[in-house]
């Protein structure tokens, strides 16, 4: 315990187990060591501790890191309250007196907040990079499918023909927004609370800018009380994970539909599916199902942390210890899901021909006929009505649109002429869509090119913008 002076009984063991965070905050070890090093350096530079003490502390902290990674020190074995106590306690064991000066002018409140913000910054960067990698996979695949015609759906009803590339690019756009959202989280976490003390700063002459700089923060926080009781960055992080997983849940739903016998549009590689313990013929899209299901887990974490913060008076309350597991678990789940999606799409087999026959002359071209009528001076609402009636006639006669004769069409509207038949050619249907953002292969190819370019620039930036 770091706070025993006032107490004379042993802590209740159920309570210790209940309250100890070391089983999960060990993830912060790396950041805690960095925080302590920067703090020791600053204390030395400001003359609060001696140069000698500084260097002993630094060496001790480096030794701890070494021993931990070599498996020679396992803080979880001991009954520590948290990783911060564990480090200080082991440091005292290793270097003696000087260790007792490390906690000068700081509190666990600002120490934890600093380490956790560094973790969040790293997590945001790593997720961004996984999104960027997934975008590359999608763009490569899209490049091969700008003319692979599939039905575009609304209400899961076939609506208009699009290309598979176009469909994939919708997800690339979502991933783009996901990266922007994570960038905002990064910026928000990029404010250093170290030196805020328990809630009211300190009477000692410290240099907060120095520690912030050493730890890679862009600025220091302006109000100590807010600094140690702010967990907005965690909730914003969880919001980013929730929306990101929502996107993956939609993609998963599509993978599951496309893998069904009814759709029969893709095959997920055997290495990414499972069989059944009872039914020998099964090949199940489990990876997609699990990702879809795990959306709930991350959304639940958002609820957990936002509910935890509800109604807490200032400043720090122990409830806030519940901020970490949801963040750690969400990062793990979301990052693994992104990696798996990349594997799935890198090994996916597309049934290119699946819809060609069915789509030919399909009702999905009805909108284009309405546009043709508009081009021939029929007001849109009327054109819509005419083609609605044609569709119904075709359905009732169990025929496709391209089986209708010009005369049949003329019964619905006088202006029809042979040129309308070109509209019913599925192969040129994509090319006819000329508005910006449409599935026209030319537009789609340009979009792919421009996205690839911006992603390349980001990749370069990413490598230079790493956290500690």
Cα distances from 340 to residues 82, 126, 248, 434, 461, in angstroms, run 33, 15, 11, 35, 24
Interface with a second copy, residue 154, by CB under 8 A = yes
CB of 326 to a second copy, least distance (A): 7
- The piece of 30-38, 63-71, 248-256, 460-468 that touches a second copy (CB under 8 A) is 248-256
Task: Determine which residue in the list 94, 141, 272, 468 makes contact with a second copy, applying CB under 8 A.
Answer: 272
Residue 427 CB burial class (10 angstroms; 0-12, 13-18, ≥19): exposed
Interface with a second copy, residue 301, by CB under 8 A = yes
Task: Determine which residue in the list 136, 147, 250, 452 makes contact with a second copy, applying CB under 8 A.
Answer: 250
Place of tokens 């001790």: 60
Interface with a second copy, residue 348, by CB under 8 A = no
Interface with a second copy, residue 454, by CB under 8 A = no
CA–CA separation, 304 and 256 (whole Å): 29
Burial 86-98 (b: 16+ CB within 10 A, else e): bbbbbbeebbeeb
Task: Quickly count: other Cβ atoms within 10 Å of residue 112's Cβ.
Answer: 26
* Maximum distance among all Cα pairs of the chain, rounded to whole angstroms: 100
> What do you get for the CA distance between the two ends of the chain, in Å?
29
CB of 365 to a second copy, least distance (A): 9
Task: Determine which residue in the list 66, 232, 422, 456 makes contact with a second copy, applying CB under 8 A.
Answer: 232
List binders of a second copy among 21-80 (CB under 8 A). 48
- The piece of 27-35, 117-125, 126-134, 241-249 that touches a second copy (CB under 8 A) is 241-249
CB of 135 to a second copy, least distance (A): 13
CA–CA separation, 179 and 154 (whole Å): 27
Q: Is the CB of residue 240 less than 8 Å from the CB of residue 181?
A: yes
Task: Choose the catalytic residue: 19, 276, 428, 450.
Answer: 276
CB of 169 to a second copy, least distance (A): 5
List binders of a second copy among 302-331 (CB under 8 A). 302-322, 325-326
Interface with a second copy, residue 336, by CB under 8 A = yes
Task: Determine which residue in the list 433, 455, 458, 467 makes contact with a second copy, applying CB under 8 A.
Answer: 433
List binders of a second copy among 165-184 (CB under 8 A). 166-167, 169-174, 177, 180-181, 184
Task: Choose the catalytic residue: 155, 261, 277, 435.
Answer: 155
List binders of a second copy among 179-218 (CB under 8 A). 180-181, 184, 188, 195-206, 208-209
Give me 409's structure tokens: 């069409």
Question: Active site includes 155?
Answer: yes
Interface with a second copy, residue 438, by CB under 8 A = yes
CB of 467 to a second copy, least distance (A): 21
Interface with a second copy, residue 278, by CB under 8 A = yes
**Between residues 78 and 392, which has the closer beta carbon with respect to a second copy?**
392
Task: Determine which residue in the list 62, 66, 93, 375 makes contact with a second copy, applying CB under 8 A.
Answer: 375
> β-pairing, 266-267 with 349-350?
antiparallel
CA–CA separation, 330 and 448 (whole Å): 30
Task: Determine which residue in the list 392, 410, 442, 465 makes contact with a second copy, applying CB under 8 A.
Answer: 392
Residue 21: left (phi > 0), alpha (psi -120 to 50), or beta?
A: alpha
Q: Is the CB of residue 358 less than 8 Å from the CB of residue 401?
A: no
Dihedral sign, Cα of residue 13, residue 15, residue 17, residue 22: negative
CA–CA separation, 344 and 170 (whole Å): 18
Cα distances from 388 to residues 27, 131, 227, 363, 439, in angstroms, run 61, 42, 62, 10, 24
Interface with a second copy, residue 253, by CB under 8 A = yes
Interface with a second copy, residue 449, by CB under 8 A = no
Interface with a second copy, residue 97, by CB under 8 A = yes
Question: Active site includes 85?
Answer: no
Number of residues that bind a second copy (CB under 8 A): 197
Task: Determine which residue in the list 121, 447, 458, 467 makes contact with a second copy, applying CB under 8 A.
Answer: 447
Interface with a second copy, residue 427, by CB under 8 A = no
Task: Determine which residue in the list 63, 94, 374, 468 makes contact with a second copy, applying CB under 8 A.
Answer: 374
- Radius of gyration of the chain, Cα coordinates, nearest whole angstrom: 30
Interface with a second copy, residue 279, by CB under 8 A = yes
Interface with a second copy, residue 277, by CB under 8 A = yes
CB of 450 to a second copy, least distance (A): 8
Task: Determine which residue in the list 26, 35, 83, 105 makes contact with a second copy, applying CB under 8 A.
Answer: 105
CA–CA separation, 126 and 280 (whole Å): 40
Sequential DSSP letters for 386-442 = HHHHHHHHHHHTT--GGGS-HHHHHHH-TT--TTHHHHT-HHHHHHH--STTS--HH
Interface with a second copy, residue 426, by CB under 8 A = no
CA–CA separation, 198 and 228 (whole Å): 7
Interface with a second copy, residue 385, by CB under 8 A = yes
Task: Determine which residue in the list 44, 75, 115, 151 makes contact with a second copy, applying CB under 8 A.
Answer: 151
Active site residues: 155, 276
């Amino acid at each position: 315990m770091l706070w025993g002076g006032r107490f004379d009984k042993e802590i209740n063991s159920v309570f210790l187990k209940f309250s100890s965070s070391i089983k999960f905050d060990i993830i912060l070890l790396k950041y805690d060591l960095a925080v302590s090093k920067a703090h020791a350096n600053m204390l030395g530079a400001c003359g609060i501790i001696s140069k000698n003490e500084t260097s002993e502390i630094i060496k001790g902290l480096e030794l701890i890191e070494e021993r931990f990674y070599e498996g020679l020190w396992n803080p979880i074995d001991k009954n520590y309250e948290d990783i911060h106590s564990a480090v200080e306690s082991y440091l005292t064991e290793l270097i003696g007196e000087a260790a007792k000066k490390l906690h000068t002018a700081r509190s666990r409140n600002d120490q934890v907040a600093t380490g956790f913000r560094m973790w969040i910054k790293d997590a945001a960067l790593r997720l961004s990079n996984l999104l960027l990698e997934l975008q590359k996979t999608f763009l490569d695949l899209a490049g091969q499918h700008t003319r692979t015609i599939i039905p575009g759906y609304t209400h899961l009803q076939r609506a208009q023909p699009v290309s598979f590339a176009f469909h994939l690019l919708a997800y690339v756009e979502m991933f783009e927004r996901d990266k922007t959202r994570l960038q905002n989280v990064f910026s928000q976490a990029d404010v250093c609370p170290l030196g805020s003390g328990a809630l009211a700063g300190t009477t000692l002459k410290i240099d907060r800018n120095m520690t912030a700089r050493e730890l890679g923060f862009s600025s220091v926080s302006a109000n100590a009380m807010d600094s140690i009781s702010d967990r907005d960055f965690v909730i914003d992080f969880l919001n980013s994970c929730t929306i990101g997983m929502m996107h993956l849940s939609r993609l998963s739903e599509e993978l599951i539909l496309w893998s069904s016998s009814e759709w029969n549009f893709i095959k997920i590689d055997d290495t990414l599916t499972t069989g059944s313990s009872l039914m020998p013929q099964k090949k199940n899209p489990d990876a997609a199902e699990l990702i879809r299901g795990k959306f709930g887990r991350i959304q639940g974490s958002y609820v957990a942390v936002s509910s935890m913060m509800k109604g807490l008076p200032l400043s720090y309350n122990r409830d806030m210890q519940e901020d970490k597991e949801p963040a750690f678990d969400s990062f793990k789940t979301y990052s693994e899901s992104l990696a798996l999606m990349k594997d799935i799409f890198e090994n996916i087999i597309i049934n290119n021909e699946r819809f060609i026959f069915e789509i030919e002359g399909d009702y999905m071209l009805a909108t284009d006929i309405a546009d043709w009528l508009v081009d021939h001076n029929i007001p849109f609402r009327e054109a819509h009505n005419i083609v609605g009636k044609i569709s119904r006639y075709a359905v009732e006669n169990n025929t496709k649109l391209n089986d209708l004769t010009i005369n049949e069409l003329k019964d619905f509207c006088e202006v029809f002429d042979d040129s309308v038949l070109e509209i019913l050619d599925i192969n040129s249907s994509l090319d006819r869509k000329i508005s910006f953002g449409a599935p026209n292969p030319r537009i789609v190819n340009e979009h792919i090119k421009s996205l690839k370019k911006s992603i390349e620039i980001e990749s370069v930036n990413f490598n230079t913008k790493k956290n500690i």
